[in-house]
Structure 1
Amino acid sequence: MSQLHTALGVVGIGLTLRNAFQQAGGWYSRPLGSLITAQPSTSFAAACALSQTRSLARPANTVGFDPWSFFDYRKFIYPDVYDPNEALLCNRYKTHGSVVEQYVPPKPFSHWNPLLDPELDRRTKYFNFRLYTSFVCYRSLWGFSKSDLQTRILTAYKSVNMALASGDMRYAEPYVTESMLLRLTGEVSRRGRAARVEWRIVSEPQPQDIQLVSGAVVQNPLKQGRLHFVQWTARVPSRQVVAVYDARGNLIAGDPNKELDVVDYWVFERPIIKALMVPRPGPQGADWRLLDRLQT
């Protein structure tokens, strides 16, 4: 009897494994591509019809529980494309629109005891802001690098100043938000077409010379979903020459022979899909753009 029971047990295990492998054929029919190389669709309609497409793609003989109906790695990595709610938020809100934290440059300590000086509290606050913002960027942005951000800021700094000097906003358009582009266009219009601006950088800063002095993370205006906005305040030092001429060629501002040490504080912003552990590349088409130029 023991041998018979053993044989029946082996047969039963074999039948169970066969049924499991048949069902596994449907379970493993995940979308093509890997977590890194998958190319998401940019169509919002495709995101809304994702569940119907996956159900039609399942084999006809697949029965039982389908775990991929509850976990779709495309929705996990690209929620701004494959999650209808996140896609709606990302399409509606491209920028937060205002600076969350107005940075104030540090001042010398005025109290004999630095622990009692308000300046210490302000510097500590900005340090905590930078620490938290860096943590969110590394945790939520796929491939985030401080050096890449500094390089992007330097390129934007030169392009925006070139656009203001020449009056051609095509130089600045890839590096600024829509609201900032309108403000820059207004500055050029108020200056007048007849005026001519001569601008050049005598001593160009290196990317490592750009300091990220303050940061902030804020949720979208609806306070829903995982769409957030990261803002970095950058300190950009440089040596420039600026001269403004009227229609007759008379110098009305600046000096073409005088070099100026200039320190600008610019705020850059980028939308992100805030994550708990795994960073994400989205939202689609997002990049660091100039949000505001602080007057300090």
Structure 2
Amino acid sequence: MKPPKHFSHLLLKAGFYLILMIIFIYLLFPFYWAINSSLKSEAQLQMAPATLVPRDPSTGDFAPTLRNYRVIFENQQFVRGLINSSIVATSTTLLALVAGSFAAFALGKLRFRGKKPTLYMILAMTMFPQVTVLAGLYAVITTLKLPTITSMILSYMIFTLPFTTWVLTAFFKGLPLALLESAQVDGATPFQTFYKIMLPLTAPALVTTGLLAFIAAWNEYLFALTFTSINPGARTVPVAIAYFTGAVARQEPFGEIMAAAVVVTVPIVVLVLIFQKRIVAGLTAGAVKG
């Protein structure tokens, strides 16, 4: 006997939510475990089996501690890494948005020979792994004797600028051509049309691409590890965490590393939650119109 249609619908819906819940737990459990571990003392971390919440080894009572967070903020290397990451990520994002918006306006609205090959060449730049350009890039920067912070900012443009240009081009293409034609009739130059008319209309796209570029620069590790090898004072926070030694000698500071990871991750999570609708809208528009 064939089951009723509404029963099949409910079964499919239940299966969908079950799969969604499994994916949700799978994605969030590592972050939860980092928070859980960051709230444990050394003795609690050594408990077997591991507990899902911080518990006193003797009584089993719920007993979280903020010691690990206090220790990492007393670590000057970690604090300096936060400052360096903020400088590098913010500067990279601003430069990528400025240069990317100019390029996107030209590729999206202006007519010139070789526009389409140029656009695909920009996209192709994102296909190369970072390690393939690392050695040559490091040799160039060493020859030019650029400051470490400056070299990281310029290096991060390799992967933030192509993405920014590609996404913003899709938004500029979506703007009505009549706006450009009306500005030309009124005597506006292409630059005036860009920053007085077109650019304000792409503000949501600028927020989307800027946030994603910031996240990419904030989390970057390979270039930062290489360029700061001879200048530890310029280490960004991912590299600072990798070199983290904790407060006690000859100790694997697992709890402190987890606390540092939580501190670094929380601002990104908050920003993504705030701008998640704009991120999805930006990626969708780029996929449909690009």
**For this structure pair, what is the TM-score category when the shorter chain's length is used for normalisation?**
under 0.3
Which structure has the highest helix share of the two? 2
Could you tell me the TM-score, scaled by structure 1's length? 0.24
Which structure has the highest strand share of the two? 1
Could you tell me the TM-score, scaled by structure 2's length? 0.25
